[in-house]
């Protein structure tokens, strides 16, 4: 792309503001209604790491920040209450700090919506993937109106747990006591283990230690299949998970074990199934059959080839461009990569190396995944700005405005944006060993994390501004291509 000589910076800013107001709808509430989760064990990745993450997809402009939440230090246990749902829970007096991806809300008591986070004990949490229960299950155990929901999950759990398993058990006790307002799936991980958890109804839930030789893609559907609830090493469940279903005549078994998706899950939908099938088609093509919405796809799958971090980043941008279901040609199909993603995060968990949370703000298709060590305490100001309305100084809005333009023409200037960010990502991944070396030279301190991660983040902010200027010029030029002499005619209706 070339800068148009007649388009001044001042004119560009004015036109951008108008464009943003015309093309984007702002609301004061966060509604993260649909996401896609990915989990990979050590044995199926190219570098022996675990890769865990999620796209946080919203029905509106869900402005996201990257900030450190302070430790909890109160004289006594306390009550946390949200104004929106009227949920009140008792919490411990002491809790550790954590790096989080909170949404900006119109009122501070409308929940924190931390979405993805990592605490001082290296416990990671991605919360949540919305899932849905069937009518029989909900009739037997309805959602609790003032129960726990997505908006507060990391806030009420992560400061108070030291391992992933503790996270599952702690949250399970809270669901038992306070109930759940909705169905959710979430992931906990620490330096050793990964746990996947599904919350089905008001008080029923199940979790398992994720195997190291599989990967999974979860897309707003209950995905756990048969589960041995007597496996006390690898499984945790609510007390009455099987009994409730048996007593109310909706228990579904396979090979003598409860099948959770068939027992508690809602009917399959194209909205969810297509994403799971397409991901399997991409990563396990030898095992993939023709798409069928009524097929219950296995949650845990072996890939044909080991999976790399860049592949997962690209999966979060996947619009089925190589399939008959190409969303660029069939916009009613539900892709994994969509415009309304507010952020995407990936926990890159490497043994005996520092954990890294990669974050792409706004639509990851036209954004860049940036690396953050878990003990980051301070980043460039743009990443922490709270601004529900458009603010050109906000990191989220810088990436969102660029995406809003780039998706107008994915094949032309959109491709240039996407290619630029991909090269930056590959460079960042390549630079991680040297970053790690410098990080350890400085005693793996928060100051070192701030400096190293902040430098990469600032470089991306500067690039986003430059890319925006080029993309906006290309967009404006595309609007004045009518009436060209080489195709002028004299048609009549």
Q: Note down the domain range covering 230.
A: 67-343
Q: Give the pLDDT score at 33.
A: 57
* Domain-embedded: residue 364: yes
Residue 88's pLDDT is what?
A: 96
Write down the pLDDT at residue 488.
72
379-410 pLDDT tens trace? 999 999 999 999 999 999 999 999 999 999 99
Confidence at 199, pLDDT banded by 50, 70, 90: very high
Residue 59's pLDDT is what? 79
Please give the Cα distance from 55 to 312 (Å, whole number): 11
Judged against a pLDDT cut of 50, whether residue 209 lies above it is answered with yes
Mean of the pLDDT values across residues 79-91?
93
Q: How far, in Å, are 86, 149, 268, 336, 475 from residue 131 at the CA level?
A: 22, 12, 11, 16, 38
Q: Which of 317, 343, 369 is the last residue of a domain?
A: 343
**301 is a domain residue:** yes
Average pLDDT rounded to a whole number, residues 232-239: 98
Residue 22 pLDDT exceeds 50: no
CB–CB of 118/374 below 8 Å? yes
* Other CB atoms within 10 Å distance of the CB of residue 281: 18
Mark whether 291 and 425 lie in a shared domain: no
> Is residue 36 a part of any domain in this protein?
no
Q: Are residues 26 and 175 in the same domain?
A: no
Give pLDDT, residue 124.
Answer: 98
**Cα–Cα distance between 164 and 427 in angstroms, integer?**
31
Predicted TM-score of the model (pTM):
0.93
423: left (phi over 0), alpha (psi -120 to 50) or beta: alpha
Which residues fall within 8 angstroms of residue 322, CB to CB, at 6 or more apart?
none
Tell me, yes or no, whether 414 and 330 share the same domain.
no
pLDDT score of 80 more than 70: yes
Number of domains in the chain: 2
Residue 206 predicted with pLDDT over 90:
yes
pLDDT tens per residue across span 278-307: 999 999 999 989 999 999 999 999 999 999
Residues 56-79: what's their mean pLDDT? 94
Give the model confidence (pLDDT) of 323-363 as tens digits: 999 999 999 999 999 999 999 999 999 999 999 999 999 99
User: Do residues 373 and 264 share a domain?
Assistant: no
| Confidence band for 7, pLDDT divided at 50, 70 and 90 | very low
| Contact assessment for residue 25 and residue 31, using Cβ atoms and an 8 Å cutoff | no
Looking at the structure, tell me whether residues 173 and 297 fall in a common domain: yes
Would residue 348 count as lying in a domain? no
Same structural domain, 10 and 97: no
Whether pLDDT at 8 is above 60: no
Q: How far apart are CA 55 and CA 188, in angstroms?
A: 16
Cα–Cα distance measured from residue 456 to residue 451, given in angstroms and rounded to the nearest whole number:
9
Residues 86 and 146 in one domain: yes
In a shared domain, residues 19 and 98: no
Same-domain check for residues 332 and 368: no
The label of the residue with tokens 């928060």 reads: 446
pLDDT digits (tens, 9 = 90+) for 112-153: 999 999 999 999 999 989 999 999 999 999 999 999 999 999
Terminal CA-CA length for the chain: 37
* pLDDT tier for residue 18 given thresholds of 50, 70 and 90: very low
Domain contains 98: yes
Based on the fold, state whether residues 299 and 416 are members of the same structural domain.
no
- Mean pLDDT score, 196-205: 98
Q: Does residue 329 form part of some domain?
A: yes
Q: Are residues 367 and 322 in the same domain?
A: no
More confident site: 8 or 47? 47
Q: For the segment 307-325, what is each residue's pLDDT rounded down to a tens digit? A: 999 999 999 999 999 999 9
Q: Are residues 25 and 166 in the same domain?
A: no
Q: What is the pLDDT of residue 31?
A: 46
- Assess whether the previous peptide bond of 400 is cis (omega < 30° from 0): no
pLDDT given for residue 21 in this prediction:
40
In the predicted model, what is the mean pLDDT of the chain? 92
Q: Using the 3D structure, point to which of 343, 373, 405 is the last residue of a domain.
A: 343
Residues 6+ apart with CB under 8 A from 125: 116, 117, 118, 119, 153, 154, 157, 158, 167, 186, 187, 188
Q: Is residue 419 part of a domain?
A: yes
Cα torsion 244, 247, 248, 251 to 10°: value is 70
> Of 322, 343, 364, which residue constitutes the final position of a domain?
343
Residue 484: predicted pLDDT: 75
pLDDT at 491: 75
Asked if residue 486 belongs to a domain, the reply is no
Find where tokens 């109930």 sit: 179
Question: Model confidence over 154-171: pLDDT tens digits?
Answer: 999 999 999 999 999 999
pLDDT score recorded for residue 24: 44
Beta-carbon contacts of residue 129 (< 8 Å; ≥ 6 apart): 35, 36, 37, 54, 184, 185, 186, 218, 219, 220
321 CB-near residues (< 8 Å, 6+ apart): 328
């Amino acid at each position: 792309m070339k800068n148009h000589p007649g388009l001044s910076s001042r004119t560009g800013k004015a036109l951008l503001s108008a464009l943003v107001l015309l093309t984007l709808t702002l609301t004061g509430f966060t509604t993260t209604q649909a996401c896609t989760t990915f989990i990979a064990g050590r044995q199926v990745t190219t570098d022996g790491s675990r890769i865990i993450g999620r796209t946080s997809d919203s029905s509106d402009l869900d402005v996201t920040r990257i900030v450190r939440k302070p430790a909890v230090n109160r004289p006594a246990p306390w009550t946390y209450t949200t104004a929106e749902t009227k949920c009140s829970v008792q919490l411990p007096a002491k809790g550790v700090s954590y790096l989080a991806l909170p949404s900006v809300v119109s009122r501070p008591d409308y929940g924190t919506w931390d979405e993805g986070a990592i605490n001082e004990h290296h416990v990671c949490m991605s919360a949540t993937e919305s899932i849905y229960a069937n009518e029989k299950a909900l009739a037997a155990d309805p959602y609790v109106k003032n129960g726990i929901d997505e908006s507060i999950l990391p806030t009420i759990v992560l400061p108070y747990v030291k391992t992933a398993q503790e996270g599952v058990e702690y949250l399970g006790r809270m669901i038992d006591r306070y109930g759940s307002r909705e169905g959710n799936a979430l992931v906990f991980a620490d330096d050793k283990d990964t746990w996947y958890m599904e919350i089905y109804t008001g008080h029923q839930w199940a979790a398992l230690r994720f195997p190291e030789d599989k990967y999974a893609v979860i897309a707003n559907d209950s995905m756990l299949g048969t589960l041995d609830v007597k496996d006390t090493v690898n499984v945790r469940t609510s007390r009455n998970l099987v009994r409730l279903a048996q007593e109310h005549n909706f228990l579904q078994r396979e090979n003598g074990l409860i099948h959770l998706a068939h027992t508690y899950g809602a009917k399959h939908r194209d909205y969810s199934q297509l994403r799971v099938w397409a991901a399997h088609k991409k990563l396990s093509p030898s095992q993939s059959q023709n798409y069928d919405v009524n097929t219950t796809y296995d949650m845990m799958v072996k890939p044909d080839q080991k999976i790399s971090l860049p592949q997962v980043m690209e999966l979060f941008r996947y619009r089925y461009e190589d399939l008959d279901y190409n969303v660029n040609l069939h916009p009613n199909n539900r892709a994994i990569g969509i415009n309304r993603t507010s952020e995407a995060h990936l926990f890159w968990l490497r043994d005996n190396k520092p954990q890294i949370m990669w974050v792409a703000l706004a639509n990851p298709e036209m954004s860049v995944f940036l690396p953050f060590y878990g003990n980051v305490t301070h980043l460039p100001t743009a990443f922490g700005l709270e601004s529900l309305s458009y603010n050109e100084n906000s990191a989220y809005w810088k990436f969102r405005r660029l995406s809003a333009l780039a998706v107008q023409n994915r094949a032309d200037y959109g491709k240039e944006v996407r290619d630029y960010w991909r090269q930056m990502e590959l460079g960042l991944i390549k630079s991680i060993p040297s970053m790690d070396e410098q990080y350890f030279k400085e005693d793996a301190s928060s100051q070192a994390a701030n400096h190293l991660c902040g430098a990469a983040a600032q470089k991306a902010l500067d690039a986003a501004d430059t890319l925006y200027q080029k993309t906006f010029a290309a967009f404006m030029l595309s609007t004045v291509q009518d009436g060209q002499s080489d195709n002028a005619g004299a048609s009549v209706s």
